[in-house]
A and B are shown apart, each in its own frame.
Chain A
Amino acid sequence: MTSPAKIKTIKGETGDWEIVIGMEVHAQVTSNAKLFSGASTEFGAEPNSQVSFIDAGFPGMLPVINEKCVEQAVRTGLGLKARINLRSIFDRKNYFFPDLPQGYQISQYKDPIVGEGEVTIDLKDGESIKVGIERLHLEQDAGKSLHDQSPDSSFVDLNRSGVALMEIVSKPHMRTSEEAAAFLKKLRAIVRYLGTCDGNMDEGSMRCEIKNVNSMRFVQMAIEHEARRQIEVIEGGGAIVQETRRYDSKANETRSMRAKEDAHDYRYFPDPDLLPLELEQAWVDAIAATLPELPDEKKARFMAQGLSAYDASVLVAERELADFYEDLARGVDAKAAANWLNNEILGRPNRDGLSITQVPVGAAANNAIIQMVSDKTISGKIAKDLLDIVWTEGGDPRQVVEARGLRQVTDTGAIDAAIEAVIAANPDKVEEVKAKPKLAAWFVGQVMKQTGGKANPAAVNAALKTRLNLPDEG
C-alpha cells in the first residue's frame, strides 16, 4: 500500500497533467426523525406531510438535537477510523432561499463532530491506496423548490427540511476519476455496513459536488470532463477560477453555477439556540464496541480463508452479499464457495432484476448443493442443473436430488455396464482410441450420457482406463 498514490497523469497538448481530486459527500443519516425535530424522514411521502413547526421555521420554535443522529455520526466517524471530537459546535449558515425556512441552515463550521480519518480504496489493478478524511459534520438538509407545478408560481416541499445529513470531506488524495469512484463506492459500503446511511443516491441519500451528480457513473464522467476542461483552459493561457459548477448528465458537461464573486457571505456564527455538543468518551466507546466487521477487515478474513484479493473485494462490496457468501460457505471450501457464488449465482439476480437478498435459492440451499458436490453426492454438472431446477421450481435441493434420482453413480457394476454398452455400439472408436489415447474423453462423455450424467466422472475414468488398457496419463 502506498499513500498518496503513485503519480498518475493525463496527457494534454503541452504536457502531462496531474489531476488532484478531493470530495465532499452528503450522506443522509439513517434515523426515523429529523436532526432537530421529531418529524418523520420517510422518503416519497406527500409534499409537506412530514413537517413540524420547527422545520417550517415558525416563530418561537427551537431546535433540539436528535441523539440518534449524533450516535450515527459518531458511528460513521469510528468506521472511518477518525478522531471523534468530544466537543463540537453547531453554527448557523445564513442565507435566504425559499426552501430554507429559518433563513439559515444549522451546520457545523469550525468545530465538527468528527475530525481526521482515512479510507482504504481498492483499485482494479489490485493496488490499494489510502484516502484521508478531513472531517465529517452534521447539518440540516433544506426543502425542495418545485417550479413545474404552476406556470406563474413556485411551490416548496419541506419534507426534507431538517433531515440530518453528514457532510464527509476527503483530503485531496485522489488522482484519477477511477480513484474517486472507488472512494465513493468504499464510503458507501462503509456507511451501509454501519447502518448509518442507506447509500441510495437516487433518493438523495448520498450526493456529491460537483453539484447534481447522482450516480457513481456520473461521478466518474463528470470528473473526466471537468479535468479535460480545466486542462484546456490552462493550456489555452487561461486560469481556473474558484466556482461551483453543475453537472448535466444528458450533455455530459459541467456548467458554472456560482462564481466566487457571487459566493454568499454565510455569516456563520454559533447557533445560540443550541449548547455546544459535549460527548462522553465512555459513550463513544460504547458505540465503538457495537461496530460491525467492516469491509477491510472482512476482506482480510476472506483472504485468510483462501480467497483471492479480487474475489474478496467483490464479495465485501455489499454487506448483504458478504453475508450471503458467509452463509453459503459455511462448512465448505471457501474457494469452491466463492467460485460457485461468482459463476453460478451472481449473474442470475441481475438478469432477473433481483438483489442478492431476493434470490429464490437462499444461501443455505446453495450451501447444500456445494456440500453435495464436495461429498460427491452429485457431480458439478448435475449441481448446475439442480440449481436451475430449484431456482425456477423451488424445493429443497437434497429432496430434489433424491426425488429425481440425481445422485452420482459410483456403483462400478452400473458404470461397467454402461461402458460395455458404449464399446459394443462403437467398435471403430475402440480401435481408434488405442492409437489416440486422447479419445478417451469421448468415451467418458458417452458413458456419462448413458448414465444420465449421474456417474461419478472419476470412477468412469478409472474404469475406462482399465477396460481399454490406456496409459495413466491418458
Chain B
Amino acid sequence: MSDLVSMTLAEARDAVRAKKISSRELTGAFVAAIEQARPLNAYITETADRALAMADAADKRIAAGTPGALEGLPLAIKDLFCTKGVRTTAASRILGDFVPPYESTVTQNLWDAGAVMLGKTNLDEFAMGSSNETSAFGPVLNPWRAQDSNQNLVPGGSSGGSSAAVAADLCLAATGTDTGGSIRQPAAVTGRVGLKPTYGRCSRFGIVAFASSLDQAGPMTKTVRDAAILLTSMASVDPKDSASVDLAVPDCEKLLDGGIKGLRVGIPKEYRVEGAAAETDALWSKGADWLKAQGAEIVEVSLPHTKYALPTYYIVAPAEASSNLARYDGVRFGHRAKDVRDIIDLYEKSRGEGFGAEVQRRILIGTYVLSAGYYDAYYARAQKLRTLIKRDFDQAYEKCDVLLTPATPSPAFAVGAKTTDPLEMYLQDVFTVTVNLAGLPGITVPAGLTANGLPLGLQLIGKAFDEGVLLRAALALETAADFKHSPAKWWTA
C-alpha cells in the first residue's frame, strides 16, 4: 500500500495507463491513508465515495482505451476551488454549508482530464495566512518534525492542507492558490515542489477570490515533472476570466527536456535579508553552484524596490480583499446571524461571527487604505510601487533568463509560534510576494535539510509565460539537490 501512495504523479500515471494498477486500487490506498492521517487535519472534506466512483469511471475509460492526461489519478483540491455539489468553505465559518452549484474552471479541467478528487484540503481562512493557523477548521500539522522532537510544526500557508497532503502521501498531487506565496512557501517548508504560474495562465473562475490581481492557481507536487504534468491540465484559456491570457497552453512536460547549458541565472542581491537563517543563505549559494555546474551562467542582478514589496503587498491585497469579501453579508448564502434587529445588525453580526480575526484584520486594513483621504497615501502609492517592482524584474531580465532566490526565511516553525505577531508572520512572504506583484511565474524546489532535519527550499522566478525555462531550471536544481527525504509517518503510530 505504501508503495502506491508514495508514487509520483508521473509514475502513477504510467502504471495506471499500463494497467499495472487500477485507479480503484490507487484511490483506495489514498482513501485509507487519509483516514489514518486525520490527526494532521489536512482535509476539511473527504470525498471517498465520490473518489471511488470517479476511479471506477476512470478505469472504464482506460479499459476502453480512451484515457485522459490524468486518467484515474487521485488529487487533493484546496478548499478555495468551488466544486459542484461538494461543500466549499474557504476555511471560513462565513460560508457555512455552502455547496456551489458550479465547478471552477481549473477543477473542471482536471476532471475533464480524468483526475479523481479525494477531497478538499484545509487552508488559512480565505487564503489569508502563512501557517494554516487561521482556518476555522483548525490548524494543519506539518508531517515533518525536527529530529528528536515531538513538537508540532506548521505546514506553511495558505495552502497548508495541500502541502501536508502531498508531503504525507495523502494524494498524488494537490492544487493550491498563491496570492503572496501560498503555494511556494508551504511547498518549501514541507519539502515538496510548488509552482505559481504566470498570472493569467490558470483561470480564476470559480476560485473564491482573495486578492483578484494577485491570485493564481497552481500545482503542488512531489517532483518538478509532476508540476509540469499537473500545470498542463490546470491551465487553460478561459473566456469566463477577463485576466485569462489568450496564449496556447504548451505540454509543459515536454518543456523539461534540454538542460540549462548557457542559461543565465540571476542572483538578486536584495534577497539577502536580515533575519534569514544562515542555512538559508548557505543553501542559496549551493543552489547557484549546482546550476553553474550544469552549464548555467550566474549573474548578480539588482531588484532595488524589493524592500517595498511586503508593504506594497499588504496594502494591495487587503484592499482588494476588503471589497471581494463584501459579498459575504448573510443575505444570499452562507452564515446568517440569528435574532437581528435590522439589516445593519444582520451584516455586523453575520460578518462578526463568520470571519476570523486575521480576515477581519485584513478587511479593516483594506477598508482603511481605500478610504477617502487615505487612498492617495496608501493604495495609489502602492500601485506606483507595484509598477516599479515590475520594472525591476524587466530590467533584471535584460541580464538573465531566470532568478534564483531562497524560498522562505526559515524552515517550518512551531504551531502557535507566530500567531501573536502578525508582522512576523507576514515576513514569511518576503521572498515570494514580489513574484505575485509582478505577475510572474515562480517555483520552489526542495533543496536540502536543516541541521535538525527540516526541509528548506529554493525559489526560481521566470519571465512571464516562460514556464518552460522555469521548469527546466527547476529540474536541474532538483536533480542536483537529489532531495529524497520524506517525513516519518508518526501519525499512523
Contacts from A to B (Cβ < 8 Å): 53, 56-65, 92, 94, 96, 98, 101-104, 154, 156, 265, 267-269, 272-275
Contact = CB atoms under 8 A, between A and B. Distances in A.
A272 B320 contact: yes
Contact of A94 (B206, B209, B370, B379): B370
Interface in B199-244: 204-209, 211-213, 239-243
Interface in B227-278: 239-243
B100 interface: yes
Given A60-B205, A62-B241, A92-B323, A272 B102 contact: no
A273 B211 CA distance: 9
Given A58-B327, A267-B323, 20 more contacts: A56-B332, A58-B332, A59-B88, A59-B95, A59-B333, A60-B81, A60-B102, A60-B207, A62-B241, A62-B242, A94-B326, A98-B329, A98-B331, A98-B343, A101-B327, A101-B332, A103-B323, A269-B319, A269-B379, A272-B320
Contacts of A64: 239-242
* Binding site secondary structure of chain A: loop
Interface in B355-387: 367, 370-372, 375, 379
A267 B104 contact: no
Interface residues of B, number: 43
9 contacts: A59-B333, A60-B204, A64-B239, A98-B331, A103-B326, A104-B323, A154-B343, A265-B372, A272-B213
Contact of A60 (B104, B322, B323): B104
B243 A273 contact: yes
Contacts of A65: 242
B82 interface: yes
B370 A275 contact: no
A265 B347 contact: no
A64 B322 CA distance: 21
Interface of B: 81-82, 88, 90, 95, 98, 100-102, 104, 204-209, 211-213, 239-243, 319-320, 322-323, 325-327, 329, 331-333, 343, 347, 367, 370-372, 375, 379
Contacts of B211: 272
B213 A62 contact: no
A96 B323 contact: no
A275 B370 CA distance: 19
A275 B242 contact: yes
Contacts, number: 95
B98 A59 contact: yes
A79 to B, nearest CB: 28
Nearest to A36: B242
Nearest to A277: B242
B152 to A, nearest CB: 31
A467 to B, nearest CB: 87
B332 A96 contact: no
B90 A59 contact: yes
Contact of A102 (B82, B88, B327, B371): B327
A264 B371 CA distance: 10
B240 A269 contact: no
Given A269-B370, A269-B375, A62 B331 contact: no
Nearest to B380: A269
Contacts of A272: 211-213, 320
A72 B320 CA distance: 30
Contacts of B325: 103
3 shortest A-B CB distances, which residue pairs?
Answer: A103-B326, A272-B213, A272-B212
B367 A267 contact: yes
A62 B205 contact: yes
A277 to B, nearest CB: 10
Interface centre among B82, B100, B204, B326 (most CB of A within 10 A): B326
